[in-house]
Amino acid sequence: MDEARIKVSIRCRLCGEKFVLRGRRDGGRVDTGFKMCLCNNTDDFEIEEMPV
Ligand SMILES: [Zn+2]
C-alpha cells in the first residue's frame, strides 16, 4: 500500500463555495469522496491538491 495522503481544496465554479477535504491519491486520480456542492453542482470545480 502506497497511498499518498493529501488535502484537497475544492472550489465550486458555480457558487464559489470552498471545501477542504482529506483525500488520497490513488493511481493518478484523487479520491476524496466528495460528491456535490451545496448548489447541486457535481462536476464543475477547481481542484487544488496540497501536501498534508
Ligand atoms: Zn456550488
Looking at the DSSP bridge assignments, the partners of residue 20 are: 9
Does residue 5 sit in helix, strand or coil? strand
DSSP secondary structure, 18-35, as one string = EEEEEEEEETTEEE----
CA 34 to ligand 1 center in whole angstroms: 12
Please tell me the distance from the alpha carbon of residue 47 to that of residue 11, in angstroms, as a whole number.
6
Could you give the number of structural domains in the chain? 1
The DSSP code for 14 is T
CA 40 to ligand 1 center in whole angstroms: 7
Q: Give the residue carrying C-alpha cell 477535504.
A: 21
**The whole model's pTM is what?**
0.79
Residue 14 belongs to what domain range?
4-51
CA 15 to ligand 1 center in whole angstroms: 4
- Write out the chain's pLDDT in tens, 52 residues: 566 889 999 999 999 999 999 998 888 888 899 999 999 999 999 999 988 8
